[in-house]
């Protein structure tokens, strides 16, 4: 089946419940005839984990376009969107970055299109402080002018961190717990990238990620590409490990641990919550 015919077939199926895995598998088989792994590369990232660096570096090293496989970034749940995903996997190769959880539907789409995600994490105490810095200091970020963000900017520093814990941490916990469960259950192969490891050895972490993806690349390009990234393409803030535990009060630390404790089957040790 040609790519054009495949797209036409998909267009005829949009009214069906194509999110069911059996249908996705049949759709994938009909379209690809042996689709190579990771024609579309997905970086699934918790916010404030260095994903902009990885996203821009991989796209440039592979000379691939940066693609949008989500319906809209206006929705805080950046779930994979089948029409965009089908187009990108059939008609071109690309690199996408999303703050996306491992829901059954998203995992089914990854399996159907032979994609193995790069999942970026970080010590969650550091994420909380970095998220607070982003909301408070990045006033030029026109994508974050929501009433709640404007309200947080007017608060005292301790209250700002309280707000991030109450409003953002539940999603961070769900992100990590979901991808950890999907990986442990074998639902999808996952390559984990920790923020601190990425900052300590950018070239090494990028090479390991590309090797995991089983894509052809010129290893000699990795270093020059990383050196050529502009500040706006990395979006680093302070980035120093341990800031979270320094700036959170003991009560805030206890609250983070209590919230993580609701996930009784998840070990949050790798993201700093012991």
pTM: 0.85
SS3 70: strand
End-to-end CA distance of the chain: 51
pLDDT score for 87: 78
Kindly give the confidence (pLDDT) of every residue in the chain, 274 residues in length, as a single tens digit, with 9 standing for 90 and above: 444 444 444 445 444 444 456 656 656 665 555 567 788 899 999 999 999 999 999 999 999 999 989 988 877 789 999 888 877 777 778 999 999 999 998 998 898 888 999 999 999 999 999 999 988 876 555 455 567 777 888 899 999 999 999 999 999 999 999 999 999 999 999 999 999 999 999 999 999 999 999 999 999 999 999 999 977 666 666 668 899 999 999 999 999 999 999 999 999 999 999 8
Beta strands per DSSP E along the chain: 40-45, 94-98, 118-121, 191-194
Task: Give the domain range for residue 116.
Answer: 3-271
Specify the DSSP class assigned to residue 220.
G
Whichever domain contains 222, its CATH number is: 3.40.50.300
Question: What is the number of structural domains in the chain?
Answer: 1
pLDDT score for 149: 76
Distances (CA, A) of 228 to 56, 68, 222, 223: 11, 24, 10, 9
CA dist 251 and 257 (Å) reads: 10
Q: How many other CB atoms are there within 10 angstroms of residue 259's CB atom?
A: 18
CA dist 1 and 31 (Å) reads: 7
Displacement of CA 15 from its chain's centroid (Å): 28
CA dist 97 and 103 (Å) reads: 16
Task: Give 155-164 contacts, CB < 8 A, sequence gap 24+.
Answer: 157/132, 158/249, 158/252, 160/132, 160/135, 160/136, 161/128, 161/129, 161/132, 161/247, 161/248, 161/252, 162/252, 164/128, 164/131, 164/132, 164/135
């Amino acid at each position: 089946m040609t790519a054009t015919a495949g797209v036409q077939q998909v267009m005829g199926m949009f009214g069906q419940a194509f999110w069911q895995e059996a249908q996705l598998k049949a759709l994938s088989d009909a379209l690809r005839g042996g689709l190579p792994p990771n024609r579309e590369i997905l970086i699934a990232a918790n916010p404030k984990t260095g994903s902009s660096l990885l996203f821009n570096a991989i796209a440039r090293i592979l000379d691939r376009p940066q693609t949008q496989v989500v319906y809209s970034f206006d929705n805080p749940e950046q779930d994979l969107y089948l029409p965009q995903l089908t187009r990108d996997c059939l008609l071109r190769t690309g690199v996408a970055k999303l703050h996306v959880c491992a829901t059954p539907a998203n995992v089914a789409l990854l399996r159907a299109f032979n994609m193995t995600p790069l999942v970026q994490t970080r010590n969650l105490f550091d994420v909380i402080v970095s998220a607070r810095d982003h909301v408070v200091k990045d006033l030029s970020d026109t994508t974050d002018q929501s009433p709640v963000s404007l309200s947080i900017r007017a608060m005292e520093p301790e209250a700002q961190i309280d707000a991030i814990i109450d409003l953002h941490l539940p999603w961070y916990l769900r992100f990590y717990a979901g991808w950890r469960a999907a990986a442990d259950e074998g639902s999808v192969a996952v390559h984990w990238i920790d923020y601190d490891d990425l900052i300590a050895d950018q070239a090494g972490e990028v090479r390991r990620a590309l090797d995991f993806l089983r894509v052809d690349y010129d290893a000699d390009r990795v270093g020059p590409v990383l050196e050529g990234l502009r500040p706006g393409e990395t979006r680093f803030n302070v980035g120093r490990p341990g800031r979270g535990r320094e700036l959170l009060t003991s009560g805030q630390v206890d609250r983070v641990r209590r919230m993580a404790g609701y996930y009784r089957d998840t070990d949050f040790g790798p993201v700093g919550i012991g």
